[in-house]
Chain A
């Protein structure tokens, strides 16, 4: 299955990159305006037209896409107009930091969601369940922005315990492990917490449903300890939707990362996505989308594989 899926990634990538070019071309944003920034407000029309030619955005959509594609295949990803830098450099500098943040946050969300979900499902309607469920819906209603502010206020201002932004202390130039680790905590926490509700509620739902089924009755009758019944039986059959979520929440993770990276001045690639999108920076946008596509496809493949392992009744193909 993995092999076939890798093959089918090619048409998806083609479609996605073309889609991005097309959407960007149709979007109301003007790359020239974005490039010029405030200076554009005083520039003359002739000036802007010249800029349009220089940036190459006057050419037809398909031609631009084709050029991008052919040169990307030879390893040249083009130059980012907003970053004034080769796209390859932009990505090389940033993607690692984003991956680190997203991976930490995601792992935390999945683990915490599972643990809390099982605990809540154990006694649905109990105090723990009520509290955490209400919290989960509240979190889903609270933009990551608010969470970030709250976290900064509490952990940095109130407790003074954690740095509130950046990759390292603002005044320090060297990137050390300890520095990055302590700066990672808050953004990862906020991003993780913002992803938590889905995992928590799906695990809760799945486990609670499984607890009412015959297999759990059977497991209980055998004299298994409550913990085993919960983890080995109820969770094992109730976590299937959650496994799907692992793949399908990747786009949301990216969207969340985008906000969190901005608030915490985290020099990752997600923050560049908004900029690339609103300023219609074709090469950067396309490259970022390819990255995102990779992440999404990998996530979905992973969750399909996990699902297939977790539920032998499912015959996935393709």
Chain B
């Protein structure tokens, strides 16, 4: 029942207004902006195509990797200019990486570049990275945007003007940022990839889902990200199209090994098959998602076929019975005086996690395990993570190492939000190390298959779903599509990841 003219959009076809739920804290790559690519204002050395394959951007070609996997050399594209007219060169690349790694820089995602030992310029157009250890997925990190040294170098990295008035080489130039309201961009006519057809791009910041949907309906917006139940409302709207982006965005329940109930392997295995993932996808996500059996989604090439687990309540009960967990009067099992009961925390204000937690608790109860849902902020949850279960989320599509290494290696147990469950499985540790060291795709695939199989036998987490991200966009342009998206989807995700290549639809 969209009113007529609802799809009118804000202006002509060379102007696009979309809405996002979140806003970047800063626009400086040095502080972490755009680290996963598609930053609009900036370019990285490399970038990804629609299939998530790396392709050259500011570099002329993919890097040359030395045999020991510890040296990466990039040859830079020539003639690229920043939007202020200054030429781009190797020293900007070196400046960017070195600044990020500097201790005084408040960039919270430095860890991702942990492998880098040195970064050097070789002449005007070559940059060489030397790593501390062989790190197969390193090239994936170099989608990170490059900042101009001649501007950013003269200011305080953390609070300088550059953080809000960035200058880059990207397809768009920032024309205004009204915090809490919108970011406006205009096409960069001198972009090395050619001038975009969409001349004006505006990203309105609308935190609330319902308001976003309403404003989309009122015709002020050309596109917006929406939760499934609201996107549903636009399904019959012929002037708009809904895009469901595949993601690596999973929701999982951590089962801390240090808790007397969740530490019991039988309980973990029972829970893993007691949950009805299909029902969750159908009902909680309105079908916009997939059951998850590990960090890797079932349709990814990295997925280890055959590790899917069927919902099997009877078997779950049997496992518990066999392990000595006996049902009490109230239906909750006990073993050696220990009641099969544990708390499950979710972050308050997050509806999806809340629903997952409730559904998980209700499934667990059917198997005779009491899960007490609790809500809190991370500050409340964090000190309890060692022994209490948490409904967590994550997912990074570029390389399986990104997710799994931090999530599963025993050495990261209790290190911040990495490996919250203190999962400890020597076979997994070994496979993960192998996966990040080897450059051979076959070896890596085998290694990650091993990890996924072990996860099925010794689940430290109960993975529940992978969540599709839904976007509703006016049907006025050609060239739209979605990439596979990570958990944390900011400006760079959504059908507008490649807005620079959109073309107005021919009528």
Instruction: Determine whether A and B are in direct contact in the complex, meaning some CB atoms lie less than 8 angstroms apart.
Output: yes
Q: Which of A12-20, A40-48, A288-296 contacts B (4 or more CB under 8 A)?
A: A40-48
Q: Are B110 and A47 closer than 8 Å at their CB atoms?
A: yes
Q: Which of A64-72, A145-153, A209-217 contacts B (4 or more CB under 8 A)?
A: A145-153
Q: Which of A2-10, A25-33, A101-109, A115-123 contacts B (4 or more CB under 8 A)?
A: A25-33
Binary flags per residue of A230-255, CB closer than 8 Å to B gives 1, else 0 = 00000000000000000000000000
Task: Answer whether A54 and B206 are a contact pair too, CB < 8 Å, given A42-B111, A160-B218, A266-B180.
Answer: no
- In the assembled complex, the Cα of A26 lies from the Cα of B206 at a distance in Å of 31
Q: Are A41 and B417 closer than 8 Å at their CB atoms?
A: yes
Binary flags per residue of A269-304, CB closer than 8 Å to B gives 1, else 0 = 001100000000000000000000000000000000
Which listed residue, B31, B394, B415, touches A45 by the CB 8 Å rule? B415
Q: Are B109 and A42 closer than 8 Å at their CB atoms?
A: yes
Q: Are A164 and B214 closer than 8 Å at their CB atoms?
A: yes
Q: Are B416 and A85 closer than 8 Å at their CB atoms?
A: no
Q: Which of B132-140, B171-179, B269-277 contacts A (4 or more CB under 8 A)?
A: B171-179
Give residues 145-172 of A contacting B (CB, 8 Å).
145, 148-149, 152-153, 156-158, 160, 163-167, 169-171
- B109 contact set on A, CB distance < 8 A: 39, 42-43
Task: Answer whether A84 and B108 are a contact pair too, CB < 8 Å, given A44-B416, A160-B3, A160-B218.
Answer: no
Q: How far is the CB of A225 from chain B (nearest CB, A)?
A: 47
A308 located at the interface, meaning its Cβ lies under 8 Å from any Cβ of chain B in the complex? no
B202 located at the interface, meaning its Cβ lies under 8 Å from any Cβ of chain A in the complex? yes
Q: Which of A128-136, A191-199, A257-265 contacts B (4 or more CB under 8 A)?
A: A257-265
Q: Are B416 and A48 closer than 8 Å at their CB atoms?
A: yes
- A158 contact set on B, CB distance < 8 A: 3
Complex: chain B residue closest to A37, CB-CB: B25
Task: Answer whether A169 and B220 are a contact pair too, CB < 8 Å, given A28-B379, A42-B406.
Answer: yes
Q: Are B204 and A170 closer than 8 Å at their CB atoms?
A: yes
- A267 contact set on B, CB distance < 8 A: 178-181
Which listed residue, A28, A43, A165, A169, touches B211 by the CB 8 Å rule? A165
Q: Are B220 and A41 closer than 8 Å at their CB atoms?
A: no
- In the assembled complex, the Cα of A28 lies from the Cα of B181 at a distance in Å of 28
- B205 contact set on A, CB distance < 8 A: 265
A173 located at the interface, meaning its Cβ lies under 8 Å from any Cβ of chain B in the complex? yes
Q: Are B210 and A149 closer than 8 Å at their CB atoms?
A: yes
Task: Answer whether A42 and B204 are a contact pair too, CB < 8 Å, given A51-B108, A271-B180.
Answer: no
B106 located at the interface, meaning its Cβ lies under 8 Å from any Cβ of chain A in the complex? yes
- B111 contact set on A, CB distance < 8 A: 42-44, 47
Q: Are B31 and A165 closer than 8 Å at their CB atoms?
A: no
Q: How far is the CB of A149 from chain B (nearest CB, A)?
A: 6
Q: Are B181 and A41 closer than 8 Å at their CB atoms?
A: no
A79 located at the interface, meaning its Cβ lies under 8 Å from any Cβ of chain B in the complex? yes
The number of residues on chain B lying at the interface, defined by a beta carbon within 8 Å of a beta carbon of chain A, is: 60
Which listed residue, A43, A166, A173, touches B204 by the CB 8 Å rule? A166
B501 located at the interface, meaning its Cβ lies under 8 Å from any Cβ of chain A in the complex? no
Task: Answer whether A39 and B159 are a contact pair too, CB < 8 Å, given A265-B181, A265-B205, A267-B180.
Answer: no
Q: Are A265 and B175 closer than 8 Å at their CB atoms?
A: no
Q: How far is the CB of B28 from chain A (nearest CB, A)?
A: 7
Q: Are B159 and A86 closer than 8 Å at their CB atoms?
A: yes
- A50 contact set on B, CB distance < 8 A: 103
Q: How far is the CB of B240 from chain A (nearest CB, A)?
A: 14
- A38 contact set on B, CB distance < 8 A: 487-488
Complex: chain B residue closest to A33, CB-CB: B378
Give residues 192-211 of B contacting A (CB, 8 Å).
200, 202, 204-208, 210-211
Q: Are A84 and B181 closer than 8 Å at their CB atoms?
A: no
Q: How far is the CB of A180 from chain B (nearest CB, A)?
A: 12
A310 located at the interface, meaning its Cβ lies under 8 Å from any Cβ of chain B in the complex? no
Which listed residue, A37, A40, A94, A268, touches B416 by the CB 8 Å rule? A40
B235 located at the interface, meaning its Cβ lies under 8 Å from any Cβ of chain A in the complex? no
- A37 contact set on B, CB distance < 8 A: 25, 108
B32 located at the interface, meaning its Cβ lies under 8 Å from any Cβ of chain A in the complex? yes
Which listed residue, A48, A165, A169, touches B10 by the CB 8 Å rule? A169
Q: Are A170 and B17 closer than 8 Å at their CB atoms?
A: yes
Which listed residue, A42, A79, A262, touches B417 by the CB 8 Å rule? A42
- A51 contact set on B, CB distance < 8 A: 106, 108
B377 located at the interface, meaning its Cβ lies under 8 Å from any Cβ of chain A in the complex? yes
Which listed residue, A153, A157, A265, touches B182 by the CB 8 Å rule? A265
Q: Are A35 and B184 closer than 8 Å at their CB atoms?
A: no
Which listed residue, A84, A148, A156, touches B159 by the CB 8 Å rule? A84
Residues of chain A whose beta carbon lies under 8 Å from any beta carbon of chain B: 28-30, 33, 35-45, 47-48, 50-51, 54-55, 79, 82-86, 90, 93-94, 145, 148-149, 152-153, 156-158, 160, 163-167, 169-171, 173, 261-263, 265-268, 271-272
Interchain residue pairs A-B with the least CB separation, the first 5? A36-B108, A171-B10, A84-B26, A39-B108, A156-B218
20 pairs of residues in contact across A and B, judged by CB atoms under 8 Å: A28-B379, A33-B378, A45-B416, A51-B106, A54-B103, A54-B106, A82-B25, A84-B28, A93-B179, A149-B210, A149-B214, A157-B217, A160-B5, A166-B182, A169-B10, A170-B10, A171-B15, A173-B176, A173-B184, A272-B180
6 more contacts with CB within 8 A, not counting A42-B406, A265-B180, are A37-B108, A39-B32, A48-B416, A160-B219, A167-B181, A171-B15
Residues of chain B whose beta carbon lies under 8 Å from any beta carbon of chain A: 3, 5, 10-11, 15, 17, 25-26, 28, 31-32, 103-106, 108-112, 158-159, 163-164, 175-176, 178-182, 184, 200, 202, 204-208, 210-211, 214-215, 217-221, 377-380, 394, 406, 415-418, 487-488
